Amino acid sequence: MPVQNCGPAPDRAAPHGWDLHRFNTAPAADAEAALLECFGSHRWAHRLAGHRPYPDVDALLAAAEEAGYDLSPTDRTEALAAEAAPGLHPGAPRSAHLALAAAHAAYESRFGHVFVICLDGFHPAEHPDQVLAGIRTRLAHDPDQERVVTADEMRRLARGRIIELVSSQ
């Protein structure tokens, strides 16, 4: 399992060579497909693609944030289903993989969806500890509290992925 950060989604790649101009002028279907790589809600992607052109990246990010707050529970479920659980580098010790798998299983059993966390600001060597600490902390949340935290983490992930998407390569 790849480790999530606020860059491109796990097992997804942002289109190379995109910038804001290309995003603004791309066919709607292409823009929506690119946005789905940032956040797995079709309603969210359709809304952002439909409001183009954006005058600058900040306007696009503000629209993404607003759209993220307007999602229905079904839209959030769809976006969460597109996420992969953050994992470890394949070369990590087997015991670490087992511990993380057990933590993910406990989280998914309690909340019914994959654990998501944005790891921007942390060195990659810190990611495993941050993921485990995050799962342990968030397992103590009640479901309503965890819905709020998960939605915040999903918006942070989308923001970083959008920045990656519209950054010239």
- Distance of alpha carbon 23 from alpha carbon 35, whole angstroms: 10
Query: Could you identify the residue written with the tokens 């993910």?
Result: 104
Question: What's the pLDDT at 97?
Answer: 87
Closest CA to 86 of 161, 10, 157, 137: 10
Question: What's the pLDDT at 30?
Answer: 96
Q: Which domains, from first to last, does the chain contain?
A: 20-79+160-166 (no CATH), 86-155 (1.10.3330.10)
pTM of the model: 0.86
pLDDT in tens, 91-142: 888 888 899 999 999 999 999 999 999 998 888 888 888 999 999 999 999 9
Query: Could you identify the residue written with the tokens 């519209």?
Result: 166
